[in-house]
Amino acid sequence: MTVPLSSMPLDLRPDEVHVWIVEPERIDDPRLLEAYKALLDTGERERQRRFHFERHQRQYLVSHALVRLTLSRYAPVAPEAWRFVPNEYGRPAIVGPEGQWLRFNLSHTDGMALVAVGRDVDLGADIEDAERPGETVEIADHYFAKTEVQALRSLPKERQRERFFEYWTLKEAYIKARGAGLSLPLDQFGFDLVPGQMPGISFDPRMNDLPDVWQFMQHKPSARHQAALAFRRPRSGALTVRWQHTVPLAGDMAPIIKTA
């Protein structure tokens, strides 16, 4: 069924995280794009205009409209009425009573954007275009944990780029969930990736964190994109993640994929 994203209230249980995925470059209806722009505040419109390339302007517009429309699926606030304040590392939080329980995290790259939402849970999300140009394994050599570099280098060369983005998205998701950005040293925590199992994490003692309180999820929403989520486990145990595709204000929702 086709419904406007902001019109159908959704229940968000404490043991769930919902992830909404959109492909900004596929949205070319001028009416939709104008509707998205009307939702942004003055600062967001100014930041959108600063992007040099049209595709980056569209990515920003669609992804930030997605945030506002998605949040309005869970709380009785008009999409244009949401207000956000960044912490000292730039991570935005909701201003108002909804911010006491509703959490979100946005990530976008060429071709795709996503927003993750949860109830009373610290969470982070990242999505990357694995076909983007630039160094990958060379970056790992300088910034990743030694165990990750060793595991990466032990793979056949044709598998290393894919594994790099698996590590990178997980690391980005974790530091975003912590709300501290790149102030956290990437070489002081490492992921263990075993086929068929959820990613595990280990910490250098200087990180002052515990592996057992974290849960991680990976997802490939397209052949070229890699996504990851990080969140602190609730006391009751693991969370369920619902991944779903949408076109804000117009789209059919793809079937939900549940991952325990």
Distance, CA of 87 to chain centre: 17
Task: State the Cα–Cα distance between residues 54 and 33, nearest whole angstrom.
Answer: 13
* pTM for the full predicted model: 0.91
Q: For residue 203, tell me if it sits in a domain.
A: yes
Which is it for strands 84-86 and 16-22: parallel, antiparallel or unpaired? unpaired
Q: For residue 256, tell me if it sits in a domain.
A: no
Q: For residue 5, tell me if it sits in a domain.
A: no
Q: For residue 6, tell me if it sits in a domain.
A: no
- What pLDDT does residue 114 have? 98
Q: State how many domains the chain has.
A: 1
Convert the pLDDT of each residue in 37-71 to its tens digit: 999 999 999 999 999 999 999 999 999 999 999 99
Convert the pLDDT of each residue in 143-156 to its tens digit: 999 999 999 999 99
Q: What CATH number does residue 210 fall under?
A: 3.90.470.20
Convert the pLDDT of each residue in 166-194 to its tens digit: 999 999 999 999 988 778 999 999 999 99
Q: For residue 151, tell me if it sits in a domain.
A: yes
**Predicted confidence (pLDDT) at residue 4 exceeds the cutoff of 80:** no
- Band of pLDDT at residue 199, cut at 50, 70 and 90: very high
| Three-point CA angle 23, 27, 29, nearest 5° | 170
For 13, counting Cβ atoms within 10 Å of its Cβ (0-12 exposed, 13-18 middle, 19+ buried), the class is exposed
Supply the range of the domain harboring residue 103.
Answer: 16-251
